[in-house]
Structure 1
C-alpha cells in the first residue's frame, strides 16, 4: 500500500481554491501509484478559520467542497475539515472513496493554550476511527490527539495497524524535534508506524513549516518532507511497517527562523493582495534585516525602501543604507524630515513654552517618519513593514504612530540578540547587509550621540530576562535567583507592564517562539497585579 501526504499551503476561507489544491494533489498521488491521500488538519478551510466557524453559511460552503471531492474516483481521501452536526461543531477528518463516505473522525483533544482556542468552536470527539485499505487497517488522529496517550491507544484497540495524523502545527523554535519526539512516544506505546502530515505557509501571526514525516515501528524517521514548501510525500507500507523513502534535509535552527519570517511576509502580503512592501531604512540592524527578509520573500521589484534622515542621522547610516539598497536593487527614496520637524515644533512652541526637551521631540521625529510611510502606502498600495524587534516591544522602546505604524511587524517576535544572528546567517548565504550595520552600536538616532543602551540594559541581559519572564513564565524573584541583577529584572518587568497598551496597538507579526506578543499574550492593560 502506498500513502501520500499532501503538505500544502491553503488560504483560510478559500474553500474552492483549497478544494482544487487537494484535487491536484490527489491526481498527482494517483499518478504516483498512491492508494490513500492524507491532507492536513482543516485543509479544506485553512487553519484557523476562527469566527468564520460561527457562521452557518461557512459550513454550507464546506459541504459543497466535500461534495466536489466526493466525485473523485480511484483513490481514498482523508480530508481535514470542520463539520456541524445539529448544534455541535467538530474538527473532523472524513474518509472518502469512489463516491462513498467511509467514516468520519472527530478530534478528541482540543487545545486551548498558546495560540489555540479550539474549545471556543468545537466539541471534542468521543470515538476512534479505523478504516481498511488494501487489507490494512488505518487509524486516524488529528494534531493534539498525538500529544496524549489515549487517542492513539483507542485507535490501536479498534484494530489500527498504522496511524495517520492530520496536523496544523504552527512553527516555533525547535518545534520539529518536539513533534517527532511526541510522535515517537505514540509509536513506542502502540508499536504502530505513524505518518504525520502538516500544513505549510503563513496565516496572519502563524507560520506552518510543513516538515511532514513518517516513523517506522521502531520510531525511526523513515520519510521526511522538506520544510516551508508544498510537497507530496510518498510512503510505502510493506509487511506491517512503513519503509524508508525520501529524507529531505531540514534547515538548522537559525535558518528555520529566517525561513519562517520569509514565509510569514510572503503569505501575508500575497494572500491579502498587496502589490508589495514598503519600509523605512535607518542604517540600523533591524531595518536592514527586515529589508533582507522582504526581498527574499517578495523579490526586489516589489520592495520599496525609504530613508528619512534628520540632523541626528549619522553619515554612515546614509552610506550603509545606500550600499545595501544598491546590493539588493530595490526602489529607494530619501526624504529629509528636518524641515517638517521644524514646522511641527514651531506650531507646538506656544504649548511647549517653558518645558524642557524630552522624549516628546524624539517621538515627533518617529511620527513624522510613520506619517510619510503611511502616505506612500496609501498612494501606491504597498504594505508598510515595521522594523521593531521583540526586545523593543517588551520594554516599550518604540513609538506609537511612529516606528510602530504599519501593517506587518516582521521582527515582532525576534529578540535583538537573535536579530544579529539572523543577519550573520543571511550574509553567509550572500553578503547583502553591510558589515558595519551589524557591528556598530545600535541607536535610534533621535538625539545627539544616542545609543540604545542609554535607555535599556545590555541586550544580552535584557533578552535573557525577557525570555525567562515572557516565554518561560518565571517570576521576577525566580529570575533574580538565577543570578540576574535585581535592578535589571525589576526594570524590565516594570517596562513590560506599563507598555501593554502599546503592544495592544501593534501590527500582527510572525510567531517564532512559544510566547509571542499577540495570540499567545493576553494580559490586561489595566492591571495592578505585582
Structure 2
C-alpha cells in the first residue's frame, strides 16, 4: 500500500520563501498522515507562470536557494518523498532553463524529469523560456509501487494530435503501477470536464491509474480552480479535490485502486458546477487574489445604475466584503433619474456606501474651454466621450487619493465592438466581467438574486434597457444590434471552435440564419469589422478575469495595424 498526499495549494508567483513555507506545512501534514509521497503542482516553487521573471538577474539563484530550503526540510521527514515542480538550469544547446519535476527524500534528490511538451498556444508561451526535456519516461519505486511521473502538457497529447511526441506512450512502455501528473491548468468554462475526458481516456487506453494534482488561485488574468483528481481505468474519476480552494488530502493506493484513509472515496459529481455558479466563483477568487497580491484591501466602482456596474459591485462585495467596497454615482445632464436612484437601491441592498459626484459642471467647463481654445463646438462623439473620461478621471482620482483598486465594468460584448471609451469607462486596474457577454451579465445577475433568495440587484436595473446615457434618450440598441442577436455572432467570430459543442452549434445556427439574407449577412460583416477596428482599445485596457476558453488579453493576440478584407 502507498499513501499519497495531493497538495493543492494557492501559491504566489515569485514568492519563493512564501511558497516554500506553504509546501513545508503541507509536507508536515502529509507526514502526520504517514504518507509516503506528497505531490505538489507544476512549478510549485515559483507558482505558474513566472514569465520573464525567469530572466531577471538573481531570480534563479533565489529559486535554487528556496529549493535547498525544501531539501533541508525533507531531512526532518526522512520517510516522505516530495514531488516538486520548479524551473531548473539547463546546460548545452537551446534555452538555458527547463521546466522540471524533482523528487526528494531525506535531503537527497532521487529523480529529475524535464517537461517534454511546451505549450505555446492560447495563454501559454513556455517555449519562450524552456528547452524541452528528452523523450524518456521517469519511474520511481516507492514502497514497492512503480510511480511514473509526468508534467501537465505531457499528459494532454495521448491522441498525438498536437505534437509528434507522446510522453504517455513512453510512460506506458515503462510499465508503472501508477502515474502522477503535476499540473498548472488554468480554469475556463468546461475545462474541468475536458481534463476528466482526456485523462480518463488515457487511463482506460493504457490501463493506468492517474493522480492529477493542480494548483489553485488567481494570477492576473488567469484563475486556477484546483479540482485535482484521481482516475482509474474502469471506474473513471473516483476522487476530486475542492474547486477554488486549497486542499491537502491523503489517499491510499492499493491493488490499483485509490481509497480514502478510512474507507471508500466519494466520487466527483460528473456535471460539476452550473455555468453561472462557475462564473461567480471564478471571478470572486480572481479578484480576491489579485487584490491581495497587488496590495489592495478595498475597491471602488463607478455606479451608473446599469447592469454592468451593478454586477461588478455585487461580485466585489462577495470577494472583498461590503466594508471594503465603495460605489460612486456621477450623474450628468443626460443621466436618467434611475441612474442615481437605482444605484442607491443597489448599494443599500449590498450594504455599500455610495458617494455622489455630479459631473455636469466639470463637463460644461471643459466644453467652454474647448470652444474657446479651438473655436469649434464640442459635440457628438467628442462630447459623449468627454463625459465618460471625466467620470474615469474622478474614479482614478479617488483611487489615487484613498488607495482603492478601481474595477472597470465593461462586458465582453461591448469590449468586442469598441462600445466603450478609451481613458473613460475603460479606466481601472482589473475587469471582472470583461469575459462575460452581455446576455451572460443579465443571467449571472439574476443568478445572484436567486441564490441569495432576495433582491440584491434591483429588478429595475434588470428590467432597464441598456444605455450609456451620454446623449439624450440614448440606448445601446441605437448603435448595436440587440444583444441576443449580437452575442452569438461574437461567440462564433471570437471563440469559434473553442466553444463547447452545444454553444458552438447554437452560435453557428444563429449566424447562418442571419447570413440567409443580404441584410443579415451585412450585419455579420459589420460586426466583424467592429471587432477588428477596436483592437487598439483592447490593447490599452485593464486585464480581465478569464472565464471562457478564449478571452481578450494574452490568449488572443492580433495585430492592431493590419489589413482585414
Instruction: Please classify the TM superposition score into its range, dividing by the shorter chain length.
Output: over 0.9
- 1:317, CA displacement in angstroms? 2.4
d(CA) in 2 for partners of 1:326 and 1:302? 15
Aligned pairs (5 A) from 1:14-93: 14-71=15-72, 72=74, 73=77, 74-87=79-92, 88-93=96-101
The answer to which of 396-405 and 406-415 deviates more is 406-415
- Residue 65 of structure 1 aligns to a residue in which SS? helix
1:245 to 243, 246, 265: 265
d(CA) in 2 for partners of 1:204 and 1:89? 24
8 A contact 2:492–2:508 mirrored in 1: no
The answer to which of 249-258 and 25-34 deviates more is 249-258
d(CA) in 1 for partners of 2:533 and 2:523? 16
- Residue 368 of structure 2 aligns to a residue in which SS? helix
- 1:25, CA displacement in angstroms? 0.8
Is 1:462 the counterpart of 2:478 in the alignment?
Answer: no
Is 1:277 the counterpart of 2:299 in the alignment?
Answer: yes
- 1:351, CA displacement in angstroms? 5.2
Is 1:399 the counterpart of 2:421 in the alignment?
Answer: yes
Is 1:448 the counterpart of 2:483 in the alignment?
Answer: no
Is 1:296 the counterpart of 2:318 in the alignment?
Answer: yes
Task: Report what 2:327 is aligned to.
Answer: 305
1:499 to 528, 534, 552: 534
- Residue 560 of structure 2 aligns to a residue in which SS? coil
Aligned pairs (5 A) from 1:366-445: 366-430=388-452, 431-445=455-469
d(CA) in 2 for partners of 1:386 and 1:480? 30
1:133 to 125, 130, 142: 142
Is 1:145 the counterpart of 2:162 in the alignment?
Answer: no
- 1:481, CA displacement in angstroms? 4.1
Is 1:524 the counterpart of 2:525 in the alignment?
Answer: no
Task: Report what 1:214 is aligned to.
Answer: 230
* Unpaired runs of at least 5, structure 2: 159-165, 499-506
- 1:15, CA displacement in angstroms? 0.5
1:267 to 289, 299, 317: 289
Is 1:322 the counterpart of 2:344 in the alignment?
Answer: yes
- Residue 132 of structure 2 aligns to a residue in which SS? coil
Runs of 4+ in 1 over 6 A off after TM superposition: 476-479
- 1:368, CA displacement in angstroms? 0.5
8 A contact 2:200–2:233 mirrored in 1: no
- 1:513, CA displacement in angstroms? 1.2
The answer to which of 303-312 and 363-372 deviates more is 303-312
- 1:331, CA displacement in angstroms? 2.5
8 A contact 1:226–1:248 mirrored in 2: no
CA distance 1:12–1:112, change in 2 (3 Å) = same
d(CA) in 1 for partners of 2:535 and 2:460? 33
8 A contact 1:163–1:192 mirrored in 2: yes
- Residue 184 of structure 1 aligns to a residue in which SS? helix
- 1:359, CA displacement in angstroms? 1.1
CA distance 1:352–1:451, change in 2 (3 Å) = farther
Is 1:513 the counterpart of 2:522 in the alignment?
Answer: no
Aligned pairs (5 A) from 1:336-355: 336-350=358-372, 353=375, 355=377
8 A contact 1:305–1:331 mirrored in 2: yes
d(CA) in 2 for partners of 1:4 and 1:428? 38
d(CA) in 2 for partners of 1:274 and 1:490? 42
d(CA) in 2 for partners of 1:46 and 1:24? 16
Structure 1-normalised TM-score?
0.97
The answer to which of 350-359 and 124-133 deviates more is 350-359
What CA deviation, in whole Å up to 9, does each residue of 1:52-101 have, x standing for no partner? 11235211111111111112223110001110122531111100111111
- Residue 422 of structure 2 aligns to a residue in which SS? coil
Aligned pairs (5 A) from 1:176-191: 176-191=192-207
8 A contact 2:210–2:230 mirrored in 1: yes
Task: Report what 1:170 is aligned to.
Answer: 186
The answer to which of 154-163 and 204-213 deviates more is 154-163
8 A contact 2:302–2:309 mirrored in 1: yes
d(CA) in 2 for partners of 1:22 and 1:231? 12
- 1:352, CA displacement in angstroms? 6.1
Residue correspondences, number = 529
8 A contact 2:82–2:105 mirrored in 1: yes
d(CA) in 1 for partners of 2:401 and 2:562? 40
- Residue 472 of structure 1 aligns to a residue in which SS? helix
- Residue 420 of structure 2 aligns to a residue in which SS? coil
CA distance 1:352–1:465, change in 2 (3 Å) = farther
Is 1:203 the counterpart of 2:223 in the alignment?
Answer: no
- 1:409, CA displacement in angstroms? 1.3
CA distance 1:197–1:511, change in 2 (3 Å) = same
d(CA) in 2 for partners of 1:169 and 1:219? 23
CA distance 1:375–1:388, change in 2 (3 Å) = same
d(CA) in 2 for partners of 1:502 and 1:473? 25
The answer to which of 207-216 and 63-72 deviates more is 63-72
Structure 2-normalised TM-score?
0.91
- 1:442, CA displacement in angstroms? 0.7
8 A contact 2:384–2:470 mirrored in 1: yes
d(CA) in 2 for partners of 1:436 and 1:450? 18
Is 1:104 the counterpart of 2:112 in the alignment?
Answer: yes
CA distance 1:68–1:246, change in 2 (3 Å) = farther
CA distance 1:515–1:143, change in 2 (3 Å) = same
* Unpaired runs of at least 5, structure 1: none
- Residue 484 of structure 2 aligns to a residue in which SS? helix
d(CA) in 2 for partners of 1:248 and 1:157? 30
8 A contact 2:370–2:377 mirrored in 1: no
